[in-house]
Structures are given as structure tokens and as C-alpha cells.
Amino acid sequence: MQNTIFVSLTQKNIIVFVKIHSKYADQSEAVKRLVANFLNSGELVVQGSRNAIKTNFLGEEKVSIKFFQKPSFLKAIMYSFFRSTKAKRSYEYANYLIENNINTPFPIAYVEFKNRWGLLQESYYICKHIAYDFTIRELIHDPLFPDRTSILEQFTIFTFQLHEARVHFLDHSPGNTLIVKKGHQNFDFYLIDLNRMTFENLSVEKRMDNFKKMWLSKAMVKIIAKKYAALLPYDESKLLELLMKSSQDFKRKITRKKYLKRKIGKK
């Protein structure tokens, strides 16, 4: 890619690959220090079972650093020789989104650590930090959330722009779009957790199915269907039917899985 620089170096039998956006080329050493000191510095934001997110400062700019832990042996082979790492995909997909005028925290760099045989050990994705106000999750839990209808309509426009840019975001869930209030009934949306997406022309059915993980209420479904139908344009009643079915089928599937887990756990 023309907007990146690439650095490879070897230290203690570990090969380190660093790809940095050209806008941050003069801060390559600082980026490497952030990664090297990840465990001992910064503020923890998310601690998952395998991944973690921290905030820290690159110079005077606050950044987010996502740490992807060492994968299993089979996954290490896959990510090393057959498929891009999660960190690399996050970086490249962020660049694609920005090139298509879709908001996401600006991609700064990704870093991969591999052993002497070229097997992935761990990786990091670094991007600008977004000071957001809320996510869709708050709207789900609070039917009286201020400007709820307007936010959902603008979120629908944001998702429509994703689809028009051929982006099928597979993790389109309540916490993966950060929302920043810009003024009275005016909001910006930023897509995060980017490593799972495909790029294709989406049918109407796939577009509606892409909302299923949002865990929408019936009232929210109606707002989204009405707005999306006007954007396509498409028959509102048919769109509502597709979106409602997809949403309800997903909820039933998750509820059934939870029920089976509880039943198995009691045995």
C-alpha cells in the first residue's frame, strides 16, 4: 500500500513485522515502544479471554492498542501462511473504510511477532482513540433514550453507506459502533472491531440479515426498516418483514443455545 511503510527486524529469535501509516512514519520508534511496553503501561479498557485493549499516548495523541494473544498451533499456521492476521486485517479494513468515507478510528499501525520458523506468536493493532458518548447498546436497554429515533435513523444511514461500499460487517453488534454526539440530533458513527468482514455486493436479504446481531426491539426494527426502505428505495412492508424475521430468528437461535448450555450444565 502506498500510504504505509514496512519495517522488519529480528530480536532474540523473534521476527518483528511493523507496518505504519505514512502519516506516522516519523513515530515508528515510538510505536514499537508502545508495543514493547504494552503489558506494563497504559490504561486497560477491555480484558478478554484472549485479547486485550489499552489506551496510551503516542506523543501527545491518545491511541488505542488492541493485543491479540498467541493463537493455537493450527491457527498460527493458518495466520502465518494462509490468512492475514487479525491485526493486519484490522489495519487494512480500516484503510478501506476511510477511503470509502466511512468513519472508523484512524489506523496507525499493526505489529506482528513471529518465531524463527515464521509462526505467529502475537500481534497488535494501533489506532486513534475515539472519545465516544455511547453505543447502540444503551438504546436497546432504554426505550426512552434521548433522540432515540433520530439516532436509529442516522445509524441506518451509516449502515446503508457500509452496504453501498460493499462492506459486509460480520460483527455488526450493539457494541461495535461508537457514537459521538456532535450537536442537537446530530451524531457521528465509528465502526470498531474490524477484523471480520467481507467485501461483496449485498442483496436486500443480506442487508437486512446484517442487522440481526443488533438485538433490536420491534419498535427499533420498524424505525430502521422505514428509513432503509427510503434509502434503497424498496417496499417498506417487504423490508420490514425481512428484517423482523432475521432479527427474531437470530434471537431464537441464541436463546436456544443458552437453554441447551444450561441443560447440559445441569447433567
pLDDT digits (tens, 9 = 90+) for 34-61: 999 998 999 999 888 788 999 999 999 9
One domain, residues 60 and 165: no
Residue 216 lies in a domain: yes
Range of the domain at 32: 4-128
Q: Averaged over 239-256, what is the pLDDT?
A: 94
CA distances from 222 to 32, 187, 231, 242, 266 (A): 48, 20, 14, 11, 39
Indicate the number of domains in the chain. 2
How far from chain centre, in Å, is Cα 110? Answer: 15
pLDDT at 183: 86
> Of 84, 108, 128, at which residue does a domain stop?
128
One domain, residues 146 and 124: no
Which CATH number goes with the domain that contains 244? 1.10.510.10
pLDDT band at 265, cuts 50/70/90? low
pLDDT band at 83, cuts 50/70/90? very high
Taking only the tens place, the pLDDT of each residue in 85-104 is 999 999 999 999 999 999 99
Beta-carbon contacts of residue 94 (< 8 Å; ≥ 6 apart): 104, 105, 106, 107, 127, 194
- DSSP code at position 106: P
One domain, residues 93 and 159: no
Residue 267 lies in a domain: no
Taking only the tens place, the pLDDT of each residue in 218-242 is 999 999 999 999 999 999 999 999 9
One domain, residues 83 and 170: no
Q: Please tell me which residue, 56 or 80, carries the higher pLDDT value.
A: 56
pLDDT at 10: 46
> Of 77, 104, 128, at which residue does a domain stop?
128
> Of 128, 162, 179, at which residue does a domain stop?
128
Closest alpha carbon to 192 in 102, 110, 109, 113:
102
Taking only the tens place, the pLDDT of each residue in 5-26 is 444 444 567 888 899 999 999 9
The amino acid that residue 68 corresponds to is F
Q: Averaged over 243-251, what is the pLDDT?
A: 95
One domain, residues 10 and 123: yes
Q: What CA–CA distance (Å, rounded) separates 78 from 136?
A: 34
